[in-house]
Amino acid sequence: MHDAALLSRERPLTGPMAPAPTVPMLRAETSADLQTRAKEAASLLKALANPDRLLLLCQLAAGERTVSELGQLSGIAQPSLSQQLGVLRNERLVATRRDGKSVVYRVNSPAAIAILQTLCGLFCAPPAVAPPASQAAMTGESHRKQTAS
């Protein structure tokens, strides 16, 4: 079950009052199975740890994109774009298909999608709406007037 704070897109509490995070119970597996899964997870996290690759996967999470669309949306220059897409292909995180002369990319990893959704919820959620600076200044000014009276 997800933490209610994450589902509501609010930052979770921190400090001594914060609820302890819950971790799903591990199934009884052999040490070799757990080591294999840990290596797979580390490989995925390593691929996601590069800002350019993460940006490309975020663009692809919204749907298929051509190489030229990815370049335009991400602002990544062609040599680096090709290199990072190659890494994502080698890690089997993306798949390609031909559409005429274009190569179209899509995310091909359910694990990557799950992590991208979590990262988006944590880092891409719109910030809490704060009053405009002029309104905040007026509120503070009227508060000072009231306390001075």
Q: What is the 3-state secondary structure (H, E, C) of 115-149?
A: HHHHHHHHHHCCCCCCCCHHHHHHHHHHHHHHHHC
How wide is the angle at C-alpha 99 spanned by C-alphas 96 and 103, nearest 5°?
A: 40
Decide if pLDDT at 7 tops 50: no
Rounded Cα distance between 74 and 51, Å, is 11
**Residue 133 burial (10 A CB sphere; 0-12, 13-18, 19+):** exposed
Stronger pLDDT, 148 or 19, i.e. the higher one: 19
27 close to 21: Cβ distance less than 8 angstroms: no
What are 79-125's pLDDT values in tens digits?
999 999 999 999 999 999 999 999 999 999 999 999 999 998 898 86
Residues 12-46: b if buried by 16+ CB within 10 A, e if exposed? eeeeeeeeeeeeeeeeeeeeeeeeeeeeeeeebee
Mean per-residue pLDDT of the chain: 80
Structure confidence at residue 35 (pLDDT): 92
